[in-house]
Structure 1
Amino acid sequence: MTRIAIILGSTRPGRNGEAVARWVFDIAKQRSDADYELVDLADYHLPHLDEAAPPSMGQYTKPHTLAWAEKIASFDGYVFVTPEYNHSTSGALKNAIDFLYAEWNNKAAGFVGYGSAGGTRAVEHLRLVMAELQVATVRAQVALSLFTDFTNFSQFTPAPHQADAVGVVLDQVVAWSTALAGLRAR
């Protein structure tokens, strides 16, 4: 069965992303088209990139890198839940992505962004990064506004239509992940 990771891309104390990622995961668990897993960056304790060789060489030496590589390699696609900080994604998510290379290749990704502008600029940044990693990004995305999908900018209260948007992202990520299986098998 196709395996999809829902990656919680913030490690910040009091992060809004935890509620968002759990909500996405709860929606995904109701589906039978893939095996979904919530992956929290905070569980991996990745320091600022500390491998001597570039990730494209695949010469990982640190236990945290090896554990992260094994986890990411086990999936066929990803849904990144990203905050928007200063018109970009979180430093923690960018760092986690940069630790690896081949483990990301020939897979699909979708995005759930949140922030004052719905996380759209963070998602656009991630699309560029994913292209370099040979990850096909899907068109659909979820843009959660701190003004309309959160109460007092901190309590997650998504508008009802947002669940449908998550469904479209999951549909596309599963379809593209399945279509790319032949490339991964090479």
Structure 2
Amino acid sequence: MSTAAAKPKIALIIGSTRAARFADVPAQWMLKQAQAREDMDVQLLDLRDFSLPFFDEVASSAWVPSQSPEAVRWQQTLAGFDGFIFVVAEYNHSLTASLKNALDHAYTEWSHKPFTAIGYGGVGAARAIEHLRLIGIEMHMVSTHAAVHIGGSDFFTIFPAVGNQPIETIEQNLLPAATTALDELVWWAKATMAARAGTAARTEAA
């Protein structure tokens, strides 16, 4: 199958590991939206399933192979994907420590691949997603313009401690952004897949 015809493989990464996390609600909703499409194959990756140590390597894996077996397993897992959807919680105006640590434990596996995000909280994790975009640029990633922000009254409608309503209650408010974000993710995934394949072919021919 040619690169142009291949479906991008997308990982949906849950970026919170707290026992009391809310992340599963938006994660499962976004997974459902992605799985309903015919232009991508999506798989859920939960950071709880990777016992990544706090980053303590000699240097980034861009320069030195990681010594942690779990970090290597994480890198090998990421390498099989063409793009990413991050589920983002906002802690004190930024992303979670667990997500930042997971980002730091890989490098080339993120490079030249696109990502989008679904964030939640009082301001829809807008500040955390902006920080994620800055990190992604440093990792040579491509951010979509659109993201899904569950904030304000929508967030408090579905948050268990307040409204405790099912996410379907606010679904119509989220669908336009989700559709645009996934459309952009697929476009960039196909573009970067083709570019990476071209680079690999030139390297082999050299």
**2:66 aligned with 1:60, yes or no?**
yes
- Alignment partners' CA distance in 1, 2:156 and 2:87: 15
4+ runs of 1 displaced by more than 6 Å? none
Provide the TM-score with structure 1 as the length reference.
0.94
The change in CA–CA distance for 1:114 and 1:43 in structure 2 (over 3 A counts) is same
Aligned pairs (5 A) from 1:1-186: 1-145=7-151, 147-151=153-157, 153-154=159-160, 155=164, 157=167, 159=170, 160-185=172-197, 186=199
- Alignment partners' CA distance in 2, 1:58 and 1:143: 36
Q: Is the 8 A contact 1:58 1:101 kept in 2?
A: no
Provide the TM-score with structure 2 as the length reference.
0.85
- Alignment partners' CA distance in 2, 1:161 and 1:146: 12
- Alignment partners' CA distance in 1, 2:67 and 2:82: 24
Task: Name the Cα RMSD after superposition.
Answer: 1.5
The change in CA–CA distance for 1:146 and 1:21 in structure 2 (over 3 A counts) is farther
The change in CA–CA distance for 1:163 and 1:152 in structure 2 (over 3 A counts) is closer
- Alignment partners' CA distance in 2, 1:139 and 1:35: 21
2:3 is matched with which residue?
A: none
Structure showing greater Rg = 2
Q: Is the 8 A contact 1:6 1:80 kept in 2?
A: yes
Could you list the runs of 5+ residues in structure 1 that have no partner in the other structure?
Answer: none
Q: Is the 8 A contact 2:89 2:121 kept in 1?
A: yes
Question: How far off is 1:150 after superposition?
Answer: 4.1
Equivalent residues, number:
186
- Alignment partners' CA distance in 2, 1:23 and 1:175: 21
SS in 1 for 2:143: strand
